[in-house]
Structure 1
């Protein structure tokens, strides 16, 4: 077992602390059972659940447990296994396929205080997610009559009559792993049999993650106690209708609000009262009489909201939310139950775009060009928190993206994820469970069962359908939820697809587009009548502009390792070995730890900047490639918006484990240059350079026609000498792309020998910068030879605290100086000099032209005293700057 250094232990503890921040309860009548759980391997417990949940049973030898969490999370927190995110440690953890399921079968116990209520009072135990099967016992009584199965199914138990008279209660839960657990044989989803369960599919491993050895067994989601009077509100549903084509500002025509909910009368008598809500100061109510022991669907009358403040996707308008408090009030004017809902007033529609031959997404009547990222889960061990969700989704907002696709081999995301997406304007393309790799789209020698058998997965279709129905109810009120998808790259079995598409969706959520699978012909179609996804590896920048892929590409991506500081968090010093690319074989020789962490190659793209001297040099040059790849990807797709494409979704923008591919920030929330290349290339109004024909273009991805813009085009030689080309006035219509000028002739003269810098700038009639974009151009041989000849930077750096948790860092470059090229700004701990995370930078990897300055604003919510700012660049040795 590996022993942690102090620095590594501190990093692990800080990340775990960040993910485990205490969450506030949604209402005074509900609270989470979180701290104080105990657990023990079931093989070490001889007593039955009725005995161990009874008063007086001693928990000698039981260990602290992490709930919500998995067995592996608890083992890690108890220092029984090494950190699986570092080096080859994950291989030291026993795999359930070898140990057998009993090894990861665990008892979990929680003692809690709750007095049996008087009168009509009711108390419920809510389990939001357990993987995979479980039995529950409370105070010596079993709450279920048979093993409850399924990872994705909320369950609620009325425990009123089982509460202890003295208020001292004990809950005991035995959790059984999935069955089968799957053989982690190197296939996508291992041998595929994990998909026979209604469970997460990637846990036996994928091409971007190693096996999770307990298969996420455990009480992985929240356990709550909910208190009501006799009538309980279940799964309220809010629908907003916004007819017509709307603008993102100005006076709005009315919108319609529709509210319904199930009401459950848990008593033995009839109860009368009112289901009512208040929205924007207006009350809506309906009188209801509920018969004993019944559950009834109640629909309130439609409410017309005058001049609504609308919810818009990121880049198109504000993310306005209304607070709706839904209550059931008895005839005696007592609140029996209430639910608080944040309502985003918007209407989603979709249509087939005949020109692009792909689906077009509309919000409030306006077409939205989709710029998205694929998402797995926040953490492979399902250690979720509000704070981490907020940080990760905020990064997507900062990349100027407007959609996250939640991939089908994982899960339907948690409400807290959707709350962050609502806040930041990120629409969600939500896959249901299933992936072509496990579920039989392709023949695969790694799979245990044949293709036809795998097409019938999971084994229990009824459980799958019930789970989908439940999860739809859980997340359907979030305005960010935009698209439902039956699965990743494959349809569900026919009976499941029919139930979901034709029954569940029309009945429970008919306001969103349902596509049967992620690269369906209903999603997009090429001229040959086919659809697909990719490519996934590194590409020449010209490919993004000139090679037409799928009209709404659900997965396309490139490389994405972090810098040297990021690599040190996961790779031991002895494994810091530079990958070696062989141009003859087009293969790369890589270290075993890099391979284990699923590194994919940069081919000869690093060598264009000069052969890497060591891993630090390699990682720094990789950031130049990262920035160019993702800026180029989004610029290329945007240049053809509404002509070739209605959208694209990057594979992928984050990792739930310390992988070395497909990430704009690492697992520890440290961004790399991919993020800022996307931030630049995805900007709503953007001036850009087409490398295939040397044309400067402007894209306007907003609803407004833009007038009286000024486009300025300049070239800079490597030594910093300015070569102006032109200044032009430019108008551009809403949702369109326009050519500015072709500069092929100028490039041939200035960039041929050593390369050059190309500065593109768009300003408004008040001379405010609307878009600023600096490219570094190769010489006539395709090499960046001039960059290695650059004089040292003389940029001056200052940092000033402008508000609590906000620092402005200004980089000032003197006249007659070289370009201050590709500067990374970092917030660091003043004692350790190590970078702190998460910090949100208004921009990064910035270049400053001679005689100009740029300011980067740092935003953070961390308990750090007198932080320092580090700045390093291509031609700048790292500087540490005090914050004034």
Structure 2
């Protein structure tokens, strides 16, 4: 079936299908052929899906058994074994990617940390391939996007159609124009899969610590990226700097020098070589203030909600980032809208104009007023791993699943550095007689907040 796909002579291998050290995807010996017809990894869903699809005995998280060689073996419950659970460790080769964040306390904590690992795994998988695009690799197919049942392996969305964070890691890495960090060399790379050359572009590189400061900042400018190619620019040298923090955030932005339009944005959380992410456990207590401005369009049972999310904390030092480059592009425009312009961009209903003329046309017939929700906090720094969910507005009974599914998000599982604004667009249908409410959760917002 796969004859000729790999080296042109019918030779190929598929896989691997288990957890990997993220940097291994970038190494020359990871896969020896040009085309991999099938490669897979982990696929743990969110905790709400486990509760909705399994009896309480199946809510037990794995036991972590330390072996003589120092590696950890996960021992899942029998129901997870039956549902083909792929562990987040590979004793002898890969240390447990969930324990890097600390021992999980319960199902919710385990599944949240699994989403962090899911995002890193699938982004690294695709970025490793595109790092050697057309120099070693010609392509790759991922096994698989979803399960036809309540399986616990290799999926971007679960049996109930809730996306895992791996979906958004893959989505990030698969941009036609993409800026990325080579996790093996720490070179900053630009991938251009389009037929047009990129010229007069620049990369903004900023590191953010857990105190909200920006201790490392660089601009790589006047770059030209040929079509159908991957170009290495310069090394990200923060780990080699004096007194680097053991855990830090890295934000890469590729933008046009002419008008600062952002072409690609990529956010990483990283630790120093040989370290772990356990300091992030304390970071959960850092409550970052957010402002969420939303506008809702309704036609029958179909909803489209546009959310502007702003990190209201301020950077504690005086470093000034590139003009306007703290604003993210959104799903309906090439460039994001800062909060000061959000009200001005609301349509004048008397003139019949539309906020989303390209996307919506005449589809939507009813628009709600602009609504603002604020999440108070005194912390400063990155609002980490934010994610929306849509629920039915009704009293929840015990562990009843109130989610409305499926929901299509323009982005999810995202993070914002101080001052950043991002637009996320949600599309979904609501059952008859149900009023939706939208929840925002994140690493710094464990309990969740109703924002609409």
Q: TM-score, normalised by structure 2?
A: 0.76
Distance 1:788 1:563 in 2: 19
2:227 corresponds to 1:734? yes
Report deviation, 1:723.
Answer: 2.5
Cross-structure match for 1:573: 56
Change beyond 3 A, Cα 1:733–1:835: same
Q: Runs ≥4 in structure 1, deviation > 6 angstroms? A: none
- Paired residue for 1:558, among 24, 28, 41? 41
Q: Distance in 2 between matches of 1:852 and 1:558?
A: 32
Aligned: 1:836 with 2:317: no
Find the counterpart in structure 1 of residue 5 from structure 2.
Answer: 523
1:70-92 deviations in Å (ceiling 9; x for gaps): xxxxxxxxxxxxxxxxxxxxxxx
Contact 2:209 2:245 in 1 (8 A): no
Alpha-carbon distance in 2 for matches of 1:526, 1:540? 29
Distance 1:750 1:822 in 2: 28
Secondary structure of residue in 1 paired with 2:80:
helix
Question: Which residue among 804, 808, 812 is the counterpart of 2:306?
Answer: 808
Q: CA deviation at 1:882?
A: 4.8
Q: Alignment partner for residue 590 of structure 1, among 33, 56, 76?
A: 76
Q: 2:206 aligns with which of 714, 717, 721?
A: 714
Q: What is the aligned counterpart of 2:139 among 632, 636, 647?
A: 647
- Name the structure, 1 or 2, with higher relative contact order (CA <8 Å, separation 6+): 2
Q: Secondary structure at the match of 1:722?
A: coil
Question: Residues 557-600 of structure 1, C-alpha deviation per residue, up to 9 Å, x if partnerless?
Answer: 11011011111122212221111233416532110111111101
Query: 2:263 maps to what in 1?
Result: 770
Match of 1:269 in 2: none
Corresponding residue to 2:386 among 813, 823, 828: 823
Q: CA deviation at 1:754?
A: 2.7
What SS does the corresponding residue of 1:629 show, helix, strand or coil?
A: helix
Offset at residue 845 of structure 1 (A):
0.2
Matches within 5 A, 1:869-884: 869-883=438-452
Deviation at 1:748, TM superposition (A): 2.9
1:541 maps to 22
Query: Matches of 2:297 and 2:187 in 1, distance apart?
Result: 40
Compute the displacement of 1:636 (Å): 0.5
Cα deviation per residue 1:185-218 (whole Å; 9 max; x = unaligned)? xxxxxxxxxxxxxxxxxxxxxxxxxxxxxxxxxx
The residue number in structure 2 matching 1:867 is 436
8 Å CA contact retained: 2:440, 2:451: no
The offset of 1:530, in angstroms, is: 3.6
Mapped pair 1:601 → 2:87: yes
Gaps of 5+ in 1: 1-516
Aligned length, in residue pairs = 363
The Cα of 1:526 is off from its aligned counterpart by 9.1
Query: Is the contact between residue 827 and residue 839 of structure 1 (CA under 8 Å) also seen in structure 2?
Result: yes
Q: Distance in 1 between matches of 2:40 and 2:14?
A: 10
Q: What is the RMSD of the two structures over their aligned residues, measured on CA atoms?
A: 2.0
Q: Which has the larger radius of gyration?
A: 1
- Corresponding residue number in structure 2 for 1:118: none
Relative to structure 1, the CA distance from residue 591 to residue 794 in structure 2 (aligned partners, 3 Å threshold; closer, same or farther) is: same
- Mapped partners of 2:30, 2:74: distance in 1: 28
Describe the SS at the equivalent of 2:215. Answer: strand
Partner of 1:799: 294
Shift of 1:800: 2.1
How many angstroms apart in 1 are the aligned matches of 2:14 and 2:179? 27
* Other structure's SS at 1:569 match: helix
Partners of 2:395 and 2:36 lie apart in 1 by 44
Counterparts of 1:782 and 1:795, CA distance in 2: 30
Distance 1:752 1:726, change over 3 A: closer
Residues 875 and 751 of structure 1, relative CA distance in 2, 3 Å threshold: farther
Give the CA deviation at 1:750. Answer: 6.9
Change over 3 Å in CA distance of 1:863–1:750 after alignment to 2: farther
Which residue pairs with 1:849 in the alignment? 417
Correspondences of 1:57-96 after superposition (within 5 Å): none
C-alpha displacement of 1:796: 2.6
**2:13 maps to which residue?**
532
Q: Would the aligned equivalents of 2:430 and 2:436 in 1 still touch at CA under 8 Å?
A: no
Pick aligned residue for 1:704 from 196, 204, 207:
196
Unaligned residue ranges in structure 2 (runs of 5+): 90-95, 316-379, 397-401
With over 3 angstroms needed to count, the CA separation of the structure-2 counterparts of 1:740 and 1:565, relative to structure 1, is same
Residue pairs, 1:614-763, within 5 angstroms: 614-729=106-221, 730-744=223-237, 746-749=238-241, 752-763=244-255
For each residue in 1:306-346, what CA deviation from the matched residue of structure 2 results, as whole angstroms up to 9, or x when unmatched? xxxxxxxxxxxxxxxxxxxxxxxxxxxxxxxxxxxxxxxxx
TM-score in terms of structure 1 length: 0.40
Q: Report the Cα distance in structure 2 between the residues aligned to 1:661 and 1:788, rounded to whole angstroms.
A: 26
Rounded Cα–Cα distance in structure 2 between residues aligned with 1:697 and 1:772? 12
Alpha-carbon offset, residue 855 of structure 1:
1.4
